[in-house]
Amino acid sequence: MALQIYNAGIKTNTKYLTPELAYFLGGIYAANESVIANGKRYWAAPVRYNPQYSTQTQTTEHFDNVCVISSKADGYTVMKDNIKGTPLDSGKNRLPGFSTFFEATSLIDLVTEIPNLKTVLLSSDNNVKKAFVLGVIDGRGTPDISISKGIIRYLSLDCPNDDIGDFLHEAFKSIGLLCNYNTARDRLEGGAPRKAQLRIKNVEDYMRRIGYISPAKFNNMKAVYMSKYGSAHESSGSAFMSGLKYLTR
């Protein structure tokens, strides 16, 4: 299937919705973060780790691979320590990691743009959809697992709002992922609303077909496979996306 023409409203080097652009749009929509720097708006696709989750070596490897991808989409990928104190610092860069920035040309509000992106994304081939989902989960998705107990529950994502959550849910379903989606209203506890959360239930299917670029998340999944199944076989998806790995039993 031919690539679909799409104006994402950000500065990029393509007029098409390519897998690389889709990867970063996944990260942008998963976070809904922008910053005004020198009078211009920049949208961020952030990757952040809790302290001790990813080693410095793993984070650097992840960064290097994302830099390769961003070079094909005209993004600007920067380590956290090089963001802090600059005009691109939104105040959300305390945790270890990095972000890829794109200057906005017309994209001011993600929710307003959802109908346009959804139409093009759902009309695109599976590689573009897969790249979009990968961008969502690789940066902000959290594996809910217990390595010591050999338990794999789900991959979760706290969504910025219900509109974005609904859209991401549709995108995930479009490539056959089994998901639960809990809106913020569904999850009121003691009157304090929690963020809408998307959960991928069939983690094995995700790891077999979509995978991870993040070395830390991939290695943790590999460890829980060994604990649960006694085997874990990795395969490279780098021909599709730099650093991508798949996992099967």
**Residue 134: predicted pLDDT:** 99
Please say if the pLDDT value at position 186 is more than 60.
Answer: no
* CA dist 229 → 49, 221, 232 (Å): 27, 12, 8
Q: 156: part of which helix (H) or strand (E)?
A: strand 151-158
Residue 142's pLDDT band (cuts 50, 70, 90):
very high
Mean pLDDT of 239-245: 98
Instruction: Give me the chain's average pLDDT, please.
Output: 94
One-letter amino acid at 75 equals: G
Tell me the residue type at 103. E
What digits encode the pLDDT tens for the residues 24-50?
A: 999 999 999 999 999 999 999 999 999
- For residue range 150-177, what is the model confidence (pLDDT) as tens digits? 999 999 999 999 999 999 999 999 999 9
Burial-class residue 217 by CB neighbours within 10 Å (0-12, 13-18, 19+).
Answer: buried
Of 107, 205, 124, 213, give the one whose Cα is nearest residue 171: 124
> Of residues 81 and 132, which shows the higher confidence score?
132
Q: Does residue 219 register a pLDDT over 70?
A: yes
Crossing angle between the packed helical segments 110-122 and 126-140, to the nearest 10 degrees: 140
Q: What domains sit in the chain, N to C, each tagged with a CATH number? A: 126-229 (3.10.28.10)
pLDDT in tens, 97-126: 999 999 999 999 999 999 999 999 999 999
pTM (two decimals): 0.94
Is the model's pLDDT at 188 over the cut of 60?
A: no
